[in-house]
Amino acid sequence: MDKALDILKQYYGYSSFREGQEEIIREILNGNDVLTIMPTGGGKSICYQVPAILLEGITIVISPLISLMKDQVDNINNLGIKSAYINSSLSNIEINNILDEAARNEIKILYVAPERLESQAFLELIASINVSMVAIDEAHCVSQWGHDFRSSYRRISRVIALLRNRPIVTAFTATATDEVREDIINLLELNNPKIFISGFDRKNLKIIIEKGVNKKNYTLDYISNNRNESGIIYASTRKEVDNLYELLNSKGLQVEKYHAGLSDDYRKTAQENFIYDKCNIIIATNAFGMGIDKPNVRYVIHYNMPKNIEGYYQEIGRAGRDGEESECIMLFSPGDVQTQKYIIETATESSVRKESELSKLQTMINLVYTQDCYRKFILNYFGEQYDEKCNNCSNCEAPGELVDKSVDAQKVISCVYRMNQRFGIGMVVDVLRGSKNKKVYELGFDELSTYGIVKNYTKDALVEFINMLISHGYLNYKGEYPVLTLNKQSMEIVRGERQVFVKEQIVKKIKIEENELFTILKELRMDISREEKIPPYMIFGDSTLKELSNRMPITDEQFLDISGVGNSKLNKYGEKFMEKIKAYINENNIEVKWSFISKKNSNISFDEVLDKEKEKKKKEKNNNEEKKKSYEVTMDFIKAGSSIKEIAKERELTLVTIMSHIQQYITEGNKIDFEIPLDEFFNDEEEKMVLDAIDKVGYNKLKDIKEVVPEEITYDAIRAIVLKKVINEVNV
């Protein structure tokens, strides 16, 4: 296990295992089959990747997520683990190359789609090499009872039986009821497996269910309050996805959409743009997301109620994989129930399955209606004991003040009663608000005592209010063409035996602390992402950037102490990031007091690090620039006609440092009577915008300027424009 911990540190840059991981890895290394049920984002991959590195032969990972295999494999290759994938997106030549590499023992982890198990060439290969482990991801796909049945999963056990030596077989899934669990063990023929069910609770996810809100306004408000965050919006039909996409697009928001009606190419691009942070929002049906391991999804909005708790919990699990606070919001309206029933009716043939799906739907509806802690309800559903209140769901927290709306509710209920319980929400609202609608007159509803008695609500607000009454079960609203009818609770309200309290709704902004350095490092990450064509999170996750910007490491040793930095990442990116950090420290005159958090893994002392660093600096100073002041060297380059970017490259300094040299040159009282090539950083329009911003907020802090100009204008551009302004002023 010490070796396992070393690998965790060296490759992944994490200092300790998460709950469950250590025991699972120990069992695998002891040669036991394992079934692991762990929530999305819990950290399943590490459970098979770490033993894969330690075991002698190759590990084959079977995964149904073809579209994501490339990302997964790029990601672990980037950590320095030799891996590859085979699926239908590759040409035969490419596949043969990989098979050859595997045969030569050059691959440690090979991802394959289950369909590959039908290929003769593949079967021949694995029969001839040393397969130490077969890891089956999304193992619930083997079961008809699960929600993603894949028939090719049924072939896995037969293929394993073909191997020379039976490998360790490990199965992983995020959701499994008892039936599915049994199926996984039996159909995958796990051999006396150790079963690990880690807690399903994802503490960092705030569960919010909103009943009777205006979905459009709510969503628009929420998005505009969280403009810089990544989020997924799920809707239950393609049409709803299209409509929402149009709406958000028309508001000028960068969004993508994803559903089964779009071409493969379209979906692929949409998904990539989302993963690469090129757009913040993706609107999708439940076709999107299996295996999306983008860690910085800050919110998931369910625009409609999903059809079962398994699917719902898996979808919200895509938020906050990096462990940071994230929000999951379900916007419920009674129409969602009709939609889901319709989908179940039309898409399910077997009557047994239909019944099972309808009963799952009912549990979902019960979740929405519960007045108790939502987390408790969900965890209990998955068979987990959870009795306390979580204080991180909208029922526990109940934001806003409770207002007694019993009288308004009585008015609505009596109106429904007087209209003979035969009409939908629209008509009831018309009568209550005293509408001059022709149909209201024709039916004689203007004669009712409840005609026009609720005038202090707008139409939308009253629709919302009635929806709220329905969702709390105070009125019934059922059937293919739903009409409002009374139930026991409605009568209690009318008789004054039950009060109706409504919570005022507050749309909150997620608090993410971003300092200037964080933004600078994020820009650097984006540049590298473009250059290397890998998603930003594969370089460093948000939490790593956050730690970098708070702790500001400037030596290799310190950099390695940051969570999420392993050896491979240090070698690839350390220098670039530390350069930015050093420049930031210099520029802002910051004194960094460094202390190691995971000291146990570093075998040299802090003092030694400092000494080394000092020595290195001394050497640099002596060798370079023959004792001439650094800024003077920069100015010599400029006078010789070099551009700032060229100088930065030549001197291996950052652009910020070079610009600070120019600044220093001016501060020392030197006159500038030669051309300073600053225009390469901006165009006229950008210059104008920044100068306008300076008029408003001054230029003491670049951050203030950055906040008021369009996002595309970089810090480098702002810095250059400020510098140009200063030079002009000095010359005047």
Site string (109-148) toward ligand ADP, x via CB under 6 A: ----------------------------------------
Distance CA 634, CA 674 (A): 14
Which residue number, 219 or 296, has a Cβ lying nearer to ligand ADP? 296
Site string (541-560) toward ligand ADP, x via CB under 6 A: x-------------------
Which residue number, 136 or 416, has a Cβ lying nearer to ligand ADP? 136
Which residue number, 17 or 276, has a Cβ lying nearer to ligand ADP? 17
Q: Give me 191's structure tokens.
A: 């051999």
Under the criterion CB under 6 A, does residue 311 sit at the interface with ligand ADP?
Answer: no
Distance CA 278, CA 269 (A): 11
**Nearest 10 degrees: CA dihedral of 223, 227, 228, 232?**
20
Which residue number, 25 or 678, has a Cβ lying nearer to ligand ADP? 25
- Rounded to a whole number of angstroms, the minimum distance from the CB of residue 47 to ligand ADP is 8
Number of residue whose CB is nearest ligand ADP: 43
Distance CA 287, CA 238 (A): 10
Buried b (16+ CB within 10 A) or exposed e, 55-65: beebbbbbbbb
| Matching residue, tokens 């029933």 | 341
- Rounded to a whole number of angstroms, the minimum distance from the CB of residue 375 to ligand ADP is 19
The residues in 34-63 that bind ligand ADP, with binding defined as CB under 6 A, are 38, 40-46
Which residue number, 257 or 321, has a Cβ lying nearer to ligand ADP? 321
From 12-20, 79-87, 517-525, 691-699, give the range in contact with ligand ADP by CB under 6 A.
Answer: 12-20
Apex 221 CA angle, 215 and 226, nearest 5? 125
- Rounded to a whole number of angstroms, the minimum distance from the CB of residue 38 to ligand ADP is 5
Which of 410, 172, 209, 406 shows the shortest CA–CA distance to 300? 209
Around 152, how many Cα atoms within 13 Å sit in the side-chain half-sphere? Answer: 14
From 11-19, 411-419, 508-516, 627-635, give the range in contact with ligand ADP by CB under 6 A.
Answer: 11-19
Under the criterion CB under 6 A, does residue 565 sit at the interface with ligand ADP?
Answer: no
Distance CA 728, CA 714 (A): 21
**Beta-bridge partner residues of 112:** 62, 86
Site string (319-338) toward ligand ADP, x via CB under 6 A: --xx----------------
Q: How far is CA 176 from CA 32, 146, 183, 190, 313, in A?
A: 21, 7, 10, 16, 12
Per CB under 6 A, the list member of 18, 238, 341, 645 interacting with ligand ADP is 18
Q: Calculate the CA 343 to chain-centre distance.
A: 27
Q: Is 256 left (phi over 0), alpha (psi -120 to 50) or beta?
A: beta
- Rounded to a whole number of angstroms, the minimum distance from the CB of residue 18 to ligand ADP is 4
Residues constituting the chain: 732
- Rounded to a whole number of angstroms, the minimum distance from the CB of residue 36 to ligand ADP is 9
Which residue number, 74 or 632, has a Cβ lying nearer to ligand ADP? 74
Site string (671-710) toward ligand ADP, x via CB under 6 A: ----------------------------------------
Apex 588 CA angle, 584 and 592, nearest 5? 75
| Matching residue, tokens 């691009």 | 269
- Rounded to a whole number of angstroms, the minimum distance from the CB of residue 314 to ligand ADP is 10
Which residue number, 322 or 357, has a Cβ lying nearer to ligand ADP? 322
DSSP string, 315-359: HHTTS-TTSS-EEEEEEE-THHHHHHHHHHHHH---HHHHHHHHH
Per CB under 6 A, the list member of 229, 293, 327, 464 interacting with ligand ADP is 293
The residues in 481-510 that bind ligand ADP, with binding defined as CB under 6 A, are none
How many residues of this chain interact with ligand ADP, rule: CB under 6 A? Answer: 17
Which residue number, 39 or 212, has a Cβ lying nearer to ligand ADP? 39
- Rounded to a whole number of angstroms, the minimum distance from the CB of residue 25 to ligand ADP is 10
Under the criterion CB under 6 A, does residue 295 sit at the interface with ligand ADP?
Answer: yes
Which residue ranges make up the site for ligand ADP (CB under 6 A)?
A: 14, 17-18, 21, 38, 40-46, 293, 295, 321-322, 541
